[in-house]
Amino acid sequence: MPVTALRGQIVYLDGNPFERDPQECLVHHPDGLVIMEAGRITAAGPYAETAPLLPAGVTPVHYPDQLIMPGMIDTHVHYPQLQMIGAYGAQLLEWLNTYTFVAEQQFADAAHAAMVAQVFLRELLRAGTTTAVVYCTVHPQSVEAFFAESARLNTRMIAGKVLMDRNAPAALLDTAQQGYDESAALIGRWHGQGRQLYCVTPRFAPTSSEAQLEAAGALLRDHPGVYLQTHLCENPAEVAWVRELFPARQSYLDVYDHAGLVGPRAVFGHAIHLHEGDFCTCHARGAALAFCPTSNLFLGSGLFRLAEAKDPRRPVRVGLGTDVGAGTSLSQLQSLNEAYKVTALAGGRLDAVRAFYLATLGGAEALYLDDRLGRVAPGYEADLIVLDPKATPLLAFRTGYCRDLTELLFTLMTMGDDRAIRATWVAGACLWDRDTGAWAMDSARRGQD
């Protein structure tokens, strides 16, 4: 593997700004250098100090005045819903029946799945997201297609086959046993293969019987280290339905807890209508919540209570999710724009440092990957993005008035989108270059063909 290097402003979080002074958590090298080899960062710091470590013959790619940051992490997204982003006019349960379950049936076709997986992963990279926790469909071939494409790109992705054995169209149902077996086979093929990680994926309590939730718990016990993702307390009608379906459980979260699903590496999407006791359980178990602002607003689901989730007496791990297709953008900058607005509507504030934490290191901590993702530091995996403060004429005008780095970051999250991603580097290689519009893997693939 060749050595590569980037020069520019390095910016990242080195601590949790919900627990420490945000400014103290922010690392900033105005003229920085990152050296990468074999997919990892081998050195990073001020240019003057780090340049002597450059091997002879390696010329850094220079992004003057641009920000080199860790690739962003999307903790909740459905790749099969890319073709139905922004489907009109329904709250959660109607929206699932009218749009989602129709689109997902197409993923029985492996060719369709492969086509969408390719588009989806490129759009993620274009938006600056290098790691995502991804729902596939009930079809094992949808998972195959996704991991195969991710393996080609060498991206670190976490994904799994949806488990549903009731309350969905017959073509989208498995059974508790079939779901277990297919998931176990996919874990064997993909978990830990290169950078791919498997995620056991019961869609949500209403579409899994108690037996299937128990089977999901068995998958977690039988395969230590795999992830768990599902939905939790997104919508009042959904919460009421779960109460009907599981009358013996104390809360929606308790349905999952009872099946052994609430622990480290479990990611619960939404968690809008959560009670204090459930926050305490998540804290105690080390489970994470995915805050999905564009989706929650689009479906009219409600306002996630970030300040409450981060209550210092029992802080809960929180990542940021786009939740495409109910979310309206794959850009985590846009997610942060709306995360700020959700917080403002609830009377609070989300500052830029905490915001970028949610999209980078905070996401890595939610996923127990903060030993390898979320920092621009030696030993970390070399997934980096380059942010351009002058990406559009209006951004160039506006950021000319920014007085400091924090204001610049805030402006980028308020006004930025995929255009602000000048380049995306994955495992030390530049996969996306905005200014040339070139995908590195196209030339590589042409070479292979």
Letters for 402-441 (x = contact with a second copy by CB under 8 A, - = none) are: ----xx--xx--xx-xx-----------------------
Q: Are 113 and 412 in contact (CB under 8 A)?
A: no
Distant-in-sequence, close-in-space partners of 252: CB < 8 Å, separation ≥ 6: 205, 232, 233, 239, 242, 243, 278
Letters for 89-108 (x = contact with a second copy by CB under 8 A, - = none) are: x-x-----------------
Please select the residue that binds a second copy; options are 158, 289, 297, 382, rule is CB under 8 A: 297
Letters for 51-90 (x = contact with a second copy by CB under 8 A, - = none) are: -------------------------------xxxxx-xx-
Q: Interface with a second copy by CB under 8 A: which range of 166-174, 241-249, 271-279, 296-304?
A: 296-304
Alpha-carbon distance 224 to 218, whole Å? 10
CB of 233 to a second copy, least distance (A): 16
DSSP element (H, E) containing 293: helix 293-298
Of residues 173 and 402, the one with the C-beta less far from a second copy = 402
Q: Interface with a second copy by CB under 8 A: which range of 38-46, 69-77, 211-219, 343-351?
A: 343-351
User: How many CB atoms lie under 10 A from the CB of residue 130?
Assistant: 28
Q: How many CA atoms lie within 13 A of 125 on its CB side?
A: 29
Residues 209, 214, 217, 218: is their CA dihedral positive or negative? negative
Please select the residue that binds a second copy; options are 338, 365, 381, 388, rule is CB under 8 A: 338
CB of 430 to a second copy, least distance (A): 18
Q: Interface with a second copy by CB under 8 A: which range of 135-143, 168-176, 215-223, 401-409?
A: 401-409
Residues 378, 27, 288, 412: is their CA dihedral positive or negative? negative
Q: Which long-range contacts (CB under 8 A, 24 or more apart) does 164-170 make?
A: 164/138, 164/202, 164/203, 164/207, 164/208, 164/212, 165/207, 165/208, 165/209, 165/211, 165/212, 166/206, 166/207, 166/208, 166/209, 167/206, 167/207, 168/101, 168/203, 168/207, 169/101, 169/105
CB of 119 to a second copy, least distance (A): 5
Q: Which of residues 105-124 bind a second copy (CB under 8 A)?
A: 119, 122-123
CB of 331 to a second copy, least distance (A): 10
Of residues 179 and 416, the one with the C-beta less far from a second copy = 416
Of residues 285 and 434, the one with the C-beta less far from a second copy = 434
Alpha-carbon distance 51 to 193, whole Å? 34
For the CA atoms of 239, 244, 245, 247, what is the dihedral angle to 10 degrees? 110
Residues 169, 175, 180, 186: is their CA dihedral positive or negative? negative
Contact between 332 and a second copy (CB under 8 A)? Answer: no
CB of 250 to a second copy, least distance (A): 28
The three-state secondary structure class of 120 is: helix
Q: Interface with a second copy by CB under 8 A: which range of 49-57, 148-156, 158-166, 388-396?
A: 388-396
Please work out the total of residues on this chain that contact a second copy, with binding judged by CB under 8 A.
Answer: 48
Of residues 57 and 400, the one with the C-beta less far from a second copy = 400
Q: How far is CA 252 from CA 96, 97, 235, 245, in A?
A: 19, 21, 12, 10
By the criterion CB under 8 A, which residues form the site for a second copy? 82-86, 88-89, 91, 119, 122-123, 126, 297-300, 302-303, 328-330, 337-338, 340-341, 343-347, 349, 351-352, 392-394, 397-398, 400-401, 406-407, 410-411, 414-415, 417-418
